[in-house]
Structure 1
Amino acid sequence: MRPSRRLHIPAAIAHPVRLLPLAFLGLILIGTLLLLLPIARSGPGSPTFLDALFTATSAVTVTGLTTVDTGTYWSPVGHVIILLLVEIGGIGIIALATILGLFIGGRLGLRTQMLAQVDMHVVSFGDVRPLFRRVTVTLLSFQAVIAVVLTLRYRAAYFDSWLESVWHGVFDAVMAFNNAGFSLNTDSLATYAGDIGVIVPVSIAVFIGAFGFPVLAELYRGWRRPSRWTIHTRLTVWGSFLLLAVGSLAFLVIEWSNPSTLATQPFVDKIATSVEGGIMTRSGGLQSFDWALVRPETQGIAILMMFIGGGSASTAGGIKITTFLLLAFVILAELRGDPEVQIGRRSISGRTIRTALSIALIAVMLVVGSTLLLMTLSGASYIEALFEATSAFGTVGLSTGLTPHLTAPSQLLLIGLMFVGRVGTIAAASAFVLRRRQPRYHLPEEQPIIG
């Protein structure tokens, strides 16, 4: 009997932290090649390489920034390709492969479980199987419910055929739950501005999708017992509601008299649009108004929200809300003079704090540096460049209309930002500088003057 031949993965890339970025790069490459097919474009000729690469990256990273109009530039085949890339990218290519293996009945090897850990941010190997099952059921079920709600509304008010209503309902449900800003309409959600039957379901899908898969799994087990939630779930859930309240209220107050956004809308529509403005800036990317016409103060708040992002291991980007709140508790502990950082009767390890600081500082350097480069390469103003760079890094997809008019180098810069924002600053950096062995010695300590 001949021995079975196993695929050998070079040791240089075999570590899960390195395989994760490579897996996403592979999916982006496949998506680019598919979008380059002539049948993927609605007009004559094949799509340009840069448009295909940008769209594939934006779809895999569930961002939604585009260099072309999604509804008119791409054909129905192109739309299906984008939909599949968003769905696969949303749950993680490694997670999807593991889920398929579970349903087929295959076994999970140690390396596969380690890969799943990195992508899903689970703590122990025992959490992988049940987590993936719950994620799959929750993901598909929630998208199906939102798709049905949107389909019924579209058929009743906007489209004459059931086929068109179903397609728009499914597409928008997938984009909303995966926090991707693609739309089949030229004006995104502007056609449905003020329509609670559309804006509310889409906003709910974006909000829930930004929780993160581990949080959804824990809520599935015990949503009625908040006192037993983990610190991660508490920070994510209550922090998300806090940012929603702050963002929505700020949008309502600042834009109340702006004729380009809220001034001409009835009171109920103002509330709905404000809630949308508070949710979509976290990572949704869909919009029922033009972000180029909002007040500068609103753009500034949106930039902060995009930078923070959503929950860890979710379809949202940014530094993540847990990172943001953890750093807030670090500052609070320093001001109080506490010897350690405590959250909800739990102490936070120094390693976790260092990771949070590293993520935040790397993100600041990436966004600020990219903003300066965008200003240099495209001649954009500071606020325009900062808005676009933060949207790309946070995988949000909101735009003031600058992206389609950027030069090729500037668009390549946004591609890099979207990739790092999806894979994660720590994973992307560690993929190239990861140390195989931990040092077995400790150097003498010294305390430089701080402040």
Structure 2
Amino acid sequence: MSSIVSASSPGERLKSAGAWFKHLITSSPSRFAIVVFMLLILVFTTLLSLPIASADRTVTALGDALFTAVSTICVTGLSTVDMATHWSPFGNVVIFVGVNIGGMGVLTLASLMGMAISKRLGLRAKLMAAGDTNPLRAHGGVVNESQTVRLGEVGQLLTTVALSTLLIEGVVAVLLYPGLVMAGIDPLTALWEAPYYAAMSFTNTGFTPNVGGVSVFADDYLVLTVLMISVFLGSIGFPVIYTLAKHVWHVKKWSLHTKLTLVTTVLLFVLGAAAFLVLEYNNPKTFGSMDAVDTTFQAFFLSAMTRSGGFSVIDIDDLNGSSMLAACMLMFVGGGSASTAGGIKVTTLAVLAIAVWSEAKGRQSVEVFGRRIPSDVQRVALSVVAWGATIVALSTIIIAQITKADIAHVLFDVISAFATVGLSSGLTAELPESAKYVLAATIFMGRIGTVTLAAAVAATSRSQLYSLPVERPIVG
């Protein structure tokens, strides 16, 4: 009898599994993003584990290499090792490249590579790029074209992303160089520290290449101001940069997303600085020993860095408990959508605040700037906050149980990890191995986005051709 290869043979099963895996990662931009992020983390963990990556030419422990790789690709800035002394020049180059990859966004990078090869973007690539620049596309719901980037503009947007990243980091590096030299850094050393700081500020990462970090520039307002501006540009998001590049003097042509992002960002920046001024003006460990000008400037710098920048002139552990709580609130919100910043995003906060105000005023619809915000956007905003709060709560409980550390310090570092901020109360550097993995998972979930995560694990959306009877539960 001749042998017949059945459909259940190992070869067929392997082929079927390959087809299933291909469908899994190509059917959804969100799933594709997660897979690529995980592969990049694996690659960078391997590179950082090499003896050549460490200053003493030894193999970096797996937990430290993995945590640094996650923090690098997810542009977070938290570290379990001393970034200024642990890594060799090769390791620093790996980290520099990693933060730029993470900052630009894996989907955007993949689309740019595809465009360079094929000279044009296909429909699927355009959809994936649009999904990267607007979380609502990854969510799979109906998106109002006026609130996002049209498919025909995706190629221009991707070009804007690449050029703006290179241009902004280049200009920031040039502006930082004289300040670093005047601060006493060797001119040759400053040649690589300037672009390093430029990348870490624009990507909102917060790694520092020198011992002492930005605290050595505490009195150098030029360096600190340039860092703040760079962090701001990175945190508002590429769609906003794209809009401003096209219509900087035509406010009426700005999209609703751009208006909400800029207004909310500036408002939180000012309110955060005011809060730190009030709460820390008499703290001798932070602002209490400074004059009025220094106190005001440092309050604004701290407010900007808690949004996702990650640089710190003062020791975070020296802040009053009330200030740490205020910082947690700012970190949880984060920056703009499709930006290098993390958190639940300022537009999420804006949409929920406007919805609450509309409900209090008894309005039938949620409106702002002459536009109506649809109910599906409000549901997504609520889901983002719920998912984010759940992730932070579970991570805080697990790490607190493992370390038995002060709950305020645990909560601060967990929110910093989730929102990819990079500020630390000092707890992260002392975490045991198991807690490092938990915090790394928190960083990963915070970076890929709660909406992207939810869309990735959800089943394919189906049209519902019927509606159930309405019954109103008692709320409140």
TM normalised by structure 2 equals 0.90
Bigger mean CA deviation after superposition, 12-21 or 87-96: 12-21
Report SS of the residue matched to 2:236.
coil
Partner of 1:64: 77
Render the CA deviation track for 1:98-131: whole Å, top value 9, x for unaligned: 2233345522122222221221114431221111
Q: Distance in 2 between matches of 1:187 and 1:260?
A: 17
Give the secondary-structure state (helix, strand or coil) at the position aligned to 1:347: strand
Offset of 1:259 from its aligned partner? 1.7
CA distance in structure 2 between the aligned counterparts of 1:10 and 1:170, rounded to whole angstroms: 38
Query: Counterpart of 1:342 in structure 2: which amino acid?
Result: E
How much does 1:44 deviate? 4.0
Offset from partner CA, 1:265-293 (integer Å, 9 cap, x none): 34332222111111000000111110000
Q: 3-state DSSP class of the match of 2:25? A: coil
1:31-430 mapped onto 2 (5 Å cutoff): 31-103=44-116, 106-121=119-134, 122-161=148-187, 163-430=188-455
Q: 1:11 aligns with which of 19, 23, 35?
A: 23
Which ranges in structure 1 are unaligned for 5 or more consecutive residues? 1-6
> Which digits, 9 at most, give the CA deviation of each residue in 1:68-99, with x for residues without a partner?
00111111110110111000000111211222
4+ long deviations beyond 6 Å: none
Separation in 1, partners of 2:445, 2:150:
25
Q: Which amino acid aligns with 1:184?
A: P
After the TM superposition, which of the residue ranges 49-58 and 362-371 deviates more from structure 2? 362-371
Moved more, 109-118 or 335-344: 109-118
Q: Per the alignment, in what secondary structure is the counterpart of residue 443 of structure 1?
A: coil
Distance 2:178 2:117 in 1: 34
Supply the distance in 2 between the matched residues of 1:132 and 1:370 (Cα, whole angstroms): 35
What does residue 7 of structure 2 align with? none
In 2, Cα distance between equivalents of 1:390 and 1:235? 23
> Is the 2:179–2:220 Cα contact (8 Å) retained in structure 1?
no
- Whether the aligned pair in 2 keeps the contact of 1:120 and 1:213 (CA below 8 Å) is yes
Which residue of structure 2 lines up, in the alignment, with residue 27 of structure 1? 40
Q: Following the alignment from structure 1 to structure 2, what is the Cα–Cα distance between the partners of residues 125 and 434?
A: 25
Structure 1 residue identity aligned to 2:255: T
Q: Deviations over 1:402-433 (max 9, x none)?
A: 00111222111111111111110111122122
The structure-2 alpha-carbon separation of the partners of 1:430 and 1:105, relative to structure 1 and needing over 3 Å to count, comes to closer
- Greater Cα offset, 129-138 or 351-360: 129-138
**Distance between the aligned counterparts of 1:18 and 1:369, measured in 2?**
23
1:292 aligns to what SS in structure 2? Answer: helix
Letter of the structure 2 residue corresponding to residue 383 of structure 1: A
The whole-number CA distance in structure 1 between the counterparts of 2:210 and 2:315 is: 14
Q: Considering only CA atoms, is the larger Rg found in Structure 1 or Structure 2?
A: 2
Q: 1:396: Cα distance to partner?
A: 0.3
Opposite residue 111 of structure 1, the aligned amino acid is R
Q: Which amino acid aligns with 1:229?
A: W
The number of residues matched between the two structures is 444
CA contact (8 A) 1:194 1:272 kept: no
Q: Secondary structure at the match of 1:13?
A: helix
Give 3-state SS (helix, strand or coil) of 1:342's partner.
strand
Q: Which moved more, 1:426-435 or 1:266-275?
A: 266-275
Assess if the C-alpha contact under 8 Å between 1:196 and 1:269 holds in 2: no
The alpha-carbon distance between structure 1 residues 436 and 241, as it changes in their structure 2 partners (threshold 3 A), is: closer
Q: Conserved in 2, the CA contact under 8 Å of 1:212 and 1:314?
A: yes
Paired-residue identity, %: 39
| RMSD, aligned CA | 1.5
CA distance in 2, matches of 1:220, 1:101: 24
The equivalent residue for 1:3 is none
Q: TM-score, normalised by structure 1?
A: 0.95
> Which structure 2 segments of 5+ residues have no match?
1-17, 135-147
Q: 2:279 and 2:211 mapped to 1: Cα distance?
A: 27
Indicate conservation of the 8 Å contact 1:187/1:288, yes or no. Answer: no
1:436 offset after TM fit, Å?
A: 4.6
**Shift in Å, 1:352:** 0.6
Report the Cα distance in structure 2 between the residues aligned to 1:107 and 1:275, rounded to whole angstroms. Answer: 44
